[in-house]
Structure 1
Amino acid sequence: MTDPVVSLLEALDLTDTGARTAEDIYTGPSQWMPHGRVFGGQVLAQCIVAAKRTVPDDRFIHSMHGYFLRAGDVRLPITFSVDRIHDGRSFMARRAQAYQNGVPIFSMIASFQNDDEGVDHQLPMPDVPGPEELPSDTDLLDHISDPRARAWAADRAFEIRHVSEPVYFHAADEAASSQAVWMRAKSALPDDRGLHQAAIAYASDYAVLEPVLRRHGLSWLDAGLKVASLDHAMWWHRPARADEWLLYVQDSPSATGGRGLAQARFYTRDGALVASVAQEGMVRVPRS
């Protein structure tokens, strides 16, 4: 079995096809997943890497907005096209799309900026127990024979520690529309700021819809539950490493029409606000 961090780095090491027509074209692998569908965080991070390849080294992503259009197939590689839609003195915009079998599975517009000075403030980090005080997903899931539990415990590149009881196999004892989790890559990543931004985007698709489940007394393994990411937005505020502990604070302000909205923030251990996230997902429960 491939080390999950090695698998992550291989997925993000895109191949430049050399095509230079209207768009820049790259290819990348799909990571194995037990349900056969490409992990949304993977294709999101790969699109960010592809777009970053087309801007100068001193430009870094500060925002992206994307749509998950179709489920990806883990048996197939992915092609990425990048359209250089705007080059300004401070900001550069890129449109990136991921394709399988000639049809798009994810579409994104991202903006890159050089480092600049300006006003500075942030929301404070909530006071929660540190990661050393909490059990890891491996501790909780490693002894369970269910293949999904094995994948969650062993195959993810990030270690995750829930501040509240996780909702993997049963609903939380108390309904709540918010939660917090600590996460970090399971081993060291290269010293590449753009790579760490992409890796944090990869991890941002973990657990982000759990506040919706938690609020409605649901767990990931409830019979008939269907959950899928629909869109994703992210803003990067300050540099951080994905291989150091980050607190991912999440809440859900609304759920309706078979969709749940989640908002989230990443903080470093010392309280710096790293990034903000918003995602809407399909959340369908079986009718009684």
Structure 2
Amino acid sequence: MLHYPLFTLQILQFFDAFSCIHCAMSTLLRPPPVDPSKSAIENVLELTQLSDIDPDLFSNTRPLWHPPGARGVYGGAVIAQCLSAAQRTVPKNFTIHSMHCYFVLAGNSEIPVIYHVEHVREGKSFATRTVQARQRGKVIFTTTMSFVREDSGGKLLLEHSTDMPDIPGPIEDNDDLRFPQGSDGPFLSQRVEILNNDSPNPHTKKTRQWIKARGEISLAGGHEAHLSALAYMSDSYFIGTIARVHKLWRYSSARAGNNKSTIDEEILKTLLAMDDESLKRVQGIDNHDIKRLRRIQNGEDTSVDLDPKPEVGMMVSLDHTIYFHNPRDFRADEWMFTEMETPWAGDGRGLVFQKIFSRNGKLIATCVQEGVVRLKQPTESKL
């Protein structure tokens, strides 16, 4: 349990009350114009430091994105803004090497998020910070981060690293479509064919993609901006790996014979209007999804399928861990390769591992995420 000074608690309570009264405001202050000298992801993650009140208090400068159909705001934004806030409280020669996060409640995109950084430890080689993100008097997200002093390991080092798979590089100007962000999203991606996709064993499959921040991250952002951008991107289709390797249906439609839609109807309408080649470029869509979309398009009963698959009833992240291996030796606005695999799923949950490499094959991060993955249950007939 965190122990805040009384004054800080009073300030947090004030902002919680403020956000309740002004629930239509997604930021504490009116967002400034987009800064053209910064990349899109820097503008998305911009923070307002409430230094006149407490130098360890921050808030989102711009509205946070709420994906249609999701329970709350995009988790990667909260992860990245917590990291951004904590980075501003440590000496410049200290760099993040690990962060352990828990998603507590769904974030509301119409209410400001207040981030409070607690200085847990100030050591010679390591510094520890805990950040809580709060809305309406409740913690929606909490993370503990450890920072290490640069070159603290000494001149003689013990080193090893896994190799990046030998795969084709990204193709310029041929990026995957991302719904619902589309071309306005702050980063780009290109899918690579799932390894062992035809295997009957989901744990042997690996989902892979190339990712990078859109545009060029500013020099003023420093290595901190690249780390925050990496944190933002690390949550993209992470727990969704489980649905992909099981080839589960994730786009239920009320008009396709279901009681409740699990996808925004406008997005579904857009997907149905696309040809097969375009659908293959959509992040998260596979051949099984395309077949299902065609059945919906033709007005067929998708509950009766030649190759029936369960449907996702609920999928949400519970926790998220990032280990940063070479935190000052990569650029998030250059292509990075990610590979995800899931060793286990059961009891309504699933676990996913992710490795992130720089374009030249250097392992720059390892991530772990557990989430709720529940199937839509069959409707029991009433006697």
Letter in 1 for 2:245: R
Q: Please, what TM-score do these two structures have when normalized by structure 1?
A: 0.86
Tell me the alpha carbon deviations over residues 241-282 of structure 1, each in whole angstroms, 9 at most, x when there is no partner.
110000011100000111110001110111100010000011
Aligned counterpart in structure 2 of residue 277 of structure 1, from 331, 348, 367: 367
- The normalised TM-score by structure 2 is 0.66
Matched residue type, 2:59: T
* Alpha-carbon spacing, 1:276–1:286, altered in 2? closer, same or farther (3 Å): same
Secondary structure of the structure 2 residue equivalent to 1:183? strand
Structure 2 unpaired stretches of 5+: 1-33, 253-261, 263-311, 379-383
Q: Is the 8 A contact 2:211 2:336 kept in 1?
A: yes
| TM-superposed deviation, 1:98 | 0.5
Partner of 2:244: 214
SS of equivalent to 1:163: strand
| Number of residue pairs aligned between Structure 1 and Structure 2 | 271
The equivalent of 1:119 in structure 2 is 158
- Counterpart residue identity of residue 369, structure 2: Q
CA contact (8 A) 2:125 2:148 kept: yes
- Unpaired segments of 5 or more residues in structure 1? 142-148, 166-171
Distance 2:175 2:40 in 1: 20
Q: Distance in 2 between matches of 1:183 and 1:270?
A: 14
Q: Give the Cα separation in 1 of the matches to 2:188 and 2:238.
A: 15
Shift in CA distance, 154/219, structure 1 to aligned 2, threshold 3 Å: farther
Match of 2:48 among 4, 11, 15: 15
Match of 1:180 in 2: 208
4+ aligned runs moved over 6 Å, structure 1:
none
The alignment partner of 1:75 has SS state of coil
**Which residue in the other structure is 1:104 paired with?**
139
- 1:159, 1:129 → 2: CA distance? 17
Give 1:204's aligned residue. 234
| Root-mean-square deviation (Å) | 2.5
Where does residue 252 of structure 1 map in the other structure?
Answer: 342
Provide the secondary structure at the position in 2 that maps to 1:45. Answer: helix
After the TM superposition, which residues 121-270 of structure 1 pair with which residues of structure 2 at under 5 Å, given as runs?
121-132=160-171, 135-138=174-177, 149=179, 151-164=180-193, 176=202, 177-191=205-219, 192-222=222-252, 225-238=313-326, 239-270=329-360
Bigger share in strand: 1
1:76 to 106, 111, 124: 111
Corresponding residue for residue 284 of structure 2: none
Q: Report % sequence identity.
A: 35
Deviations along 1:153-205, one digit per CA (max 9) or x if unpaired, are 2342111111026xxxxxx7766432111000111112310111111010000
- Per-residue deviation at 1:219? 4.1
1:208 shift after superposition: 1.5
State whether residues 229 and 282 of structure 1, in contact with CA within 8 Å, keep that contact through their aligned partners in structure 2: yes
Post-superposition CA distance 1:216-240 (Å, at most 9, x none)? 2214324553211110001101131
